[in-house]
Chain A
């Protein structure tokens, strides 16, 4: 047991001693909170209840918010088309249509799921359930160098790493919070799913489901390993003991729920939106210039993005990947959703026809390598902005980028080697 735990226990012991001398005990009446705690902290159904409620949060955040995201997407697509058809100068039209409106569209479609996650979490927080959830998960998380409160942000990472990293604010201990933030991008967010679905569907037809599931499991295993390593070799110490008073259950008021969700969402709007918007304009520039050579962004193989892809090619060649994968991965840095779309642009086909073309550029082994790299290599730009904001340091943000790049390369190389060795290539 560490010093902090010893101190806390000694304090409680002393308190107990003083209270024992001064207070006459009467039978404590059973409360409503005791009644509910009997169920939610039960040794058999406590953890399953927590997982079921987290699934409800997921469904609420990503399914119920979908029409709002689509409405934003439709609106900005309309603005983009309007700008491109109304502005005479093609470069200015492309900048305003694709760069600015396209960039804002990219940023704001993330807003509804993020706001809905915060809304759901605010409800759980105000009812008093979240401290119980942390209590229920504490033992499992302590084994990998984290603590009970780390579990909720890790789980939210399967939806989107941006609100997941922001949800680490509920962790008081700075070291526990830092480790949770640093391993969170390894949780496979929903934006990576289209890449898995495409490549697993094309190369592993019957086993597509197993391959996709294995990507999620790989992310969880790597997050557990890295959290253990960070705790052991960088930060030291042990996860802070989970000492907390369990507040009584309460009915949340709409005002407090909406205020809590709004305040957290506003932070995303102010900070991440700025970073992602600038990034979107940069990607527009890279895929559209030199203007004449790309014919206004139509010939992407002549663009600066293509040049970057060719620079990356020698590095990714040992993994069986060519320059087109390099460009797609550069695009994926902006938002993982556009990896598939970028490949379509390079091969000159729509997103639906990419499946017919990729077997000419990938083997099953290199497809596995690309999926592994997409899982690990870099957080997207929005996540990077939030990482910087929440870690409060460029040094730690750079560390996350470097460790993820190295880890992605090593794991992808191992996976490619094993797959090729087994004759999958």
Chain B
């Protein structure tokens, strides 16, 4: 699965750099890549986990945990998406769902193989 870690490393690093660049520029580079310095840095951290896993003996641990981090942030931004919609409804503002759609949400399916690996380890190893 090292090849899969390498793919995830490239994807998360690229998306993180685009978000970071947009954040420093003050405007989003592409539609679903928000201008978010901290969001970009978080993706770069996740990419670093995958990179570290490629060269480490415990490769599966890094793939699994990196995927878990990716899933955590995907779910978080799904919650933010709905929270912003609810907030706009409460205060009576207009809300365009596309504005709150982030690349992290789209990346969620990529975390599934790593999560399966992690779950398998949880079931086979003692706690």
The chain A residues found within 8 Å of chain B, CB to CB, are 29-33, 35-36, 38-40, 42, 44-45, 48-49, 51-53, 55-56, 59-60, 63-67, 70-71, 74, 248-250
Query: In the complex, are the beta carbons of A31 and B125 less than 8 A apart?
Result: yes
Query: In the complex, are the beta carbons of B80 and A48 less than 8 A apart?
Result: no
Query: In the complex, are the beta carbons of A35 and B125 less than 8 A apart?
Result: yes
Known: A51-B45, A250-B127. A70 touches B87 (CB 8 A): yes
Binding site secondary structure of chain B: helix
How many inter-chain residue pairs (CB < 8 Å) link A and B? Answer: 86
Query: In the complex, are the beta carbons of B126 and A66 less than 8 A apart?
Result: no
| Cα–Cα distance between A249 and B79 once the two chains are bound (Å) | 25
The chain B residues found within 8 Å of chain A, CB to CB, are 38, 41-42, 45-46, 48-49, 52, 56, 58, 60-62, 64-66, 69, 72-73, 76, 79-80, 83-84, 86-87, 90-91, 121-122, 125-127
Q: B42 to chain A: which residues have CB within 8 Å? A: 52, 55-56
Q: A30 to chain B: which residues have CB within 8 Å? A: 125
Query: In the complex, are the beta carbons of A52 and B45 less than 8 A apart?
Result: yes
5 shortest A-B CB distances, which residue pairs? A67-B87, A67-B86, A39-B65, A48-B45, A248-B127
Query: In the complex, are the beta carbons of B83 and A49 less than 8 A apart?
Result: no
| Cα–Cα distance between A30 and B124 once the two chains are bound (Å) | 11
* Distance between A59 CB and nearest chain B CB, rounded to angstroms: 6
Task: Pick 5 A–B contacts, CB within 8 A, sort by A.
Answer: A32-B121, A38-B61, A39-B62, A49-B69, A56-B73
Q: Which chain A residue lies CB-closest to B50?
A: A45
Q: A52 to chain B: which residues have CB within 8 Å? A: 41-42, 45-46, 69
Known: A32-B121, A35-B121. A249 touches B127 (CB 8 A): yes
| Cα–Cα distance between A32 and B84 once the two chains are bound (Å) | 37
| Cα–Cα distance between A74 and B90 once the two chains are bound (Å) | 8
Q: Which chain B residue lies CB-closest to A28?
A: B126
The answer, among B58, B86, B91, B125, for a CB contact under 8 Å with A38, is B58
Q: Which chain B residue lies CB-closest to A69?
A: B87
The answer, among B58, B72, B79, for a CB contact under 8 Å with A64, is B79
Q: A53 to chain B: which residues have CB within 8 Å? A: 69, 72
Q: B62 to chain A: which residues have CB within 8 Å? A: 38-39
Query: In the complex, are the beta carbons of A32 and B45 less than 8 A apart?
Result: no
Query: In the complex, are the beta carbons of A29 and B61 less than 8 A apart?
Result: no
The answer, among B61, B80, B87, B126, for a CB contact under 8 Å with A39, is B61
Query: In the complex, are the beta carbons of A36 and B45 less than 8 A apart?
Result: no
The answer, among A31, A59, A71, for a CB contact under 8 Å with B126, is A31
Query: In the complex, are the beta carbons of B61 and A35 less than 8 A apart?
Result: yes
Known: A51-B45, A64-B79. 10 other contacts (CB 8 A): A31-B127, A32-B125, A36-B65, A52-B42, A59-B80, A63-B83, A66-B84, A66-B87, A67-B86, A71-B90
Q: B38 to chain A: which residues have CB within 8 Å? A: 55
| Cα–Cα distance between A248 and B125 once the two chains are bound (Å) | 12
| Cα–Cα distance between A53 and B69 once the two chains are bound (Å) | 8
Query: In the complex, are the beta carbons of B76 and A59 less than 8 A apart?
Result: yes
Q: Which chain A residue lies CB-closest to B83?
A: A64
Known: A44-B48, A45-B49, A249-B127. A32 touches B122 (CB 8 A): yes
Query: In the complex, are the beta carbons of B49 and A39 less than 8 A apart?
Result: yes
The answer, among B45, B65, B73, B127, for a CB contact under 8 Å with A40, is B65
